[in-house]
Amino acid sequence: MKTITINEKDIDVPTAWNNITFNKFNKFSVLINSQRTEEEFSKDYEELDEDIRNLEWSLENVRLNTKLACFWTGLTEEEISMCNIDEVENILSSMDFMNESYTPIAVDKFKFKGLEYFLPQPGMVKENFGTFIEAEQVEINNKKLKKGDLSVLPKQIAILCKREGEERGLVNDEIVDKRANSFKNLDMATIWDVAFFLTQQESKLMTLSLTYLLQTETPKL
């Protein structure tokens, strides 16, 4: 975090992924995705003279930067408008890390609120029908992730990461949902690290879980 003094207020702004919770990042993503691209903007204002259209596009970016400065500081648009340009640039430059590629750190567990959660190890999976159900849920979430829906990440982590002694497929939905809601407060560095290595394991886990059904005889009536 970096502390910036604006209008005699000390404000903490993030400077790294571990300074941002998933909840905050998800709201940021919604804000960014609600903005028009330059191509969309040009199409909406194609009847304007090019010079005027370029000026309008510059104004659009100023509005977006104002929204971003408000978002990360908690200040109102009026308060941001009273800042000098250097102060606003200082706020926005703190976000430069978001434009850089993130290199995940290899993890097999993570700690949250004093409790440890372990990533799945395919070679150690004890198969039961619950693991097949889990794999189906994981596959659904994975398809959503591939379409850019990051909102499912906490649920994916809650499904696959267990506390010591817990078996896959034997943690009920109520606990999973409660953990998923809690995991929205995980920092984004942990989210990226865990999510990256979960994707490396998912295909193996899916194969193992489907094998369970193939090896189980269908009961005859």
* Extents of the domains making up the chain: 2-99, 109-215
* CB 75 within 8 Å of CB 92: no
pLDDT at residue 43 is higher than 90: no
Residue 102: what pLDDT?
84
pLDDT at residue 123 is higher than 80: no
* CB 134 within 8 Å of CB 168: yes
The H-assigned helical ranges of 46-165 are 50-73, 77-81, 85-93, 129-146, 153-160
pLDDT at residue 61 is higher than 80: yes
pTM above 0.85, yes or no: no
2-6 and 115-118 as β-strands: parallel, antiparallel, unpaired? unpaired
pLDDT at residue 135 is higher than 80: no
207 by Cβ neighbours in 10 Å (0-12 / 13-18 / 19+) ranks as: exposed
| pLDDT confidence bin for 218, thresholds 50/70/90 | very low
Mean of per-residue pLDDT scores for the chain: 81
Q: Angle formed by the axes of helices 22-33 and 188-215, to 10°?
A: 90
| pLDDT confidence bin for 178, thresholds 50/70/90 | very high
Mean pLDDT along residues 59-73: 92
pLDDT at residue 167 is higher than 90: no
* CB 95 within 8 Å of CB 32: no
Mean pLDDT along residues 137-166: 82
Residue 200: what pLDDT?
67
pLDDT at residue 69 is higher than 90: yes
Mean pLDDT along residues 152-175: 82
Least Cα distance to 115 among 159, 165, 156 occurs for 165
| Comparison of pLDDT for 82 and 145, the residue scoring more | 82
- Tokens 């000026």, located at residue: 55
Helix or strand (DSSP H, E) at 116: strand 115-118
- Tokens 């028009």, located at residue: 36
| Comparison of pLDDT for 133 and 63, the residue scoring more | 63
